[in-house]
Amino acid sequence: MVKKLEFKSYKDMPIRAMTLSTMMWNLTGSWRNVRPYYDFKTSPCIAGCPTSENIQKYIYLVTEKRYEEAWSTIIESNPMPAITGRVCFHPCMSKCTRKDYDEPVNINAIERSLGDMGLDNPGWMTKVKGTESQKVAVVGSGPAGLSCAFYLARAGFTVTLFEMEKALGGVLRWGIPEYRLTNEVLDRVISSMLEAGPIEVKTGVEVGKEISLEELEKDFDAVFLGTGLTKSRSLGMDGEEGDGIEAGLSFLKKVNGGEKVDPGKRVVVIGGGNTAMDVARCAIRSGSEVTVVYRRTINEMPAIEEEIEEAEREGVKFHFLAAPLEIKRNGDSLTSVVFQKMELGKPDESGRRRPVAVEGETFEMEVDRMFSAIGEQADLEGIDGMLDCEWNLIKADQKMGQCSREKFYAGGDVVTGAASVVEAIAAGRKAAEKMIRGFRGQSEPEEIEDRIVGIDDMNIDYFTKVKQNRVPRIPSEEIKGTFREIKTGYTDELLEKEAERCFSCGVCNYCDNCWVFCPDVAIHRRENEYEIDLDYCKGCLICVEECPRNALSTREEGK
């Protein structure tokens, strides 16, 4: 404490009611009974991402125009943002806090922009040499296999990647049409991944037939199976084998392979999944009139909502609650299909209501071509018997991909059944990480439960409603006869504007609110962090209250 001043005249006094000396001696922190502290939580988008991309962080880095760091942040958990940025069903966005406020942040479009930047800047990808002794065989070069190979190679392990087709990519190549993901982008992504580390590619080799799993088990320290779903499920109808009727998958393969196809004038597609949407949209691009017939309603369709919307926008017609009953032909050529009308009954094991035939109610549709897209199956030849399988899928630990034999791991659709690219990427990465821990004798990491921040945890007063920035696209009228990419991606300006919309839920993004509001000037701004000066913090908790994003928490003193 300082000495008390005695004024002889008012002229010696300041006109303001104030102390003449500093007040730094007064350590008001002793008044505090509750202490604030920076405590970052989990943004809901991150929790919603199957491969746990650090979305909050990379969007923040975009707002700072630190693009390389943003890209690297994605690569930590997803090696192919240019692909997921185009085809992901983005569950992150359906968890985005802004969804409960105005519209979710278009994370998917931001990811694509960063992915494309990565392709344009090959120097961003660090190149790793084989430093480790262990060798891993990865079977299948779809998203699961590519992801697994990438993370192993990046850690210095030598990978041999087997693919039965001539070109790499699996479902990314033959299952996803050009207008959603061009072969050019796919080729660039794959080559960038292959350059990142010691990966040897063997295409045109069918594991299980040409090379057995036993051989792989002998030659490699571990084997990852990401063989996907390669066989179309058949309709099980008479005459299915004849002219005019084709599996959707084989049609897609031809289209994606650049083959000229003429699907005919009147096309019907059976099924409600993503393959059905892809087939329908490819056919409409070839000039056909397309009707999708699905045995349940739009609410039960397993396809990505956006795909359904796009298909509708492009002119695909939908006929719900109907299933093919009879195929009619004139000689060899298909003339029409008779459909059975259906209605929804009790929920089945998937929780969706089971379609039941409405007795005697049928209708006939004249068609030139019919595509079946009612699901795909795994080809387990050479696998079943060696590894435990169930429901025609490989039985593996859903988190780490461990199979019933020690050296074997599996992930992606061959384990889960029809799922998504991002889930396959996650499975590939997690299996790679599990193998690496095994090779290095590291223990399993402790599982920390996410503390997910929701809109009620936020101080929403600090935000203003701003509509999502739409991704520029070619007009629907122009899609006929072209397979060019519909979405052209964000411009730099739109990217920046969209990134600015992110609330950064639960994680500090250096908005300075705490620093500005602290009435005791007890918060100091440091390089990329704030520090609470507990000598002066009175514990008023204004910083906690005014943090827009719940990046601070409180703790009672002495407890």
Partner 1 sequence: MKKVIMGNHSVSHGVMASEVKVISAYPITPQTHIVELLSEMCGNGDIDAKFIKVESEHSAMAACVGASAAGSRAFTATSSQGLLLMHEMLHWAVGARLPIVLANVNRAVGPPWSIWTDQNDSLSQRDVGWLQIYCESNQETQDTIPQAFKIAEELQMPVMIVLDAFFLSHTYEIVDIITKEEVRKFLPEYKPEIKIDTKDPHSFGNLGGPDVYMELRYMIQEAMEKGIDVIKRVDKEFEEVFGRGYGLIQPYRCDDAETILVTSGTVSSTTRAVIDQMRDEGIKIGSLKIRVFRPFPFEEVFEVLSKAKKVAVIDRNISFGNGGIFYQEIKSALYGRTDIPIVGYIAGLGGRDITPSVIREIADKAIGDDKPERYINWIGVKK
Interface residues with partner 1 (CB under 8 A) are: 6-7, 10, 13-24, 26, 521
Question: Quick one: DSSP state of residue 31?
Answer: G
Q: How far is the CB of 309 from partner 1 (least distance, A)?
A: 38
Residue nearer to partner 1 on the CB measure, 8 or 166: 8
Q: How far is the CB of 464 from partner 1 (least distance, A)?
A: 13
DSSP 461-523: GG----PPPPPPB--GGGGTT----SB----HHHHHHHHHT---TTS-----HHHHH-TT--E
- CA-nearest of 232, 207, 219, 228 to 386 is 207
- CA-nearest of 462, 454, 456, 452 to 546 is 462
Per DSSP, the three-state class of 452 is: strand
Q: Which two tokens stand for residue 286?
A: 């070839």
Residue nearer to partner 1 on the CB measure, 2 or 356: 2
Residue nearer to partner 1 on the CB measure, 258 or 519: 519
Residue nearer to partner 1 on the CB measure, 280 or 518: 518
- Cβ atoms of 487 and 475 closer than 8 Å: no
Q: How far is the CB of 521 from partner 1 (least distance, A)?
A: 5
Residue nearer to partner 1 on the CB measure, 22 or 330: 22
Residue nearer to partner 1 on the CB measure, 18 or 448: 18
Question: Quick one: DSSP state of residue 527?
Answer: T
Alpha-carbon span 322 to 116, nearest angstrom:
42
Q: How far is the CB of 5 from partner 1 (least distance, A)?
A: 9
- CA-nearest of 353, 334, 337 to 345 is 353
Residue nearer to partner 1 on the CB measure, 448 or 521: 521
How far the first Cα of the chain sits from its last, in Å, is 30
Q: How far is the CB of 62 from partner 1 (least distance, A)?
A: 27
Q: How far is the CB of 159 from partner 1 (least distance, A)?
A: 57
In one letter, which amino acid is 538?
K
- Taking the CA atoms of 222, 226, 230 and 231 in sequence, report the sign of the dihedral they define: positive
Question: Quick one: DSSP state of residue 165?
Answer: S
Q: How far is the CB of 195 from partner 1 (least distance, A)?
A: 50
Q: How far is the CB of 542 from partner 1 (least distance, A)?
A: 14
Residue nearer to partner 1 on the CB measure, 19 or 398: 19
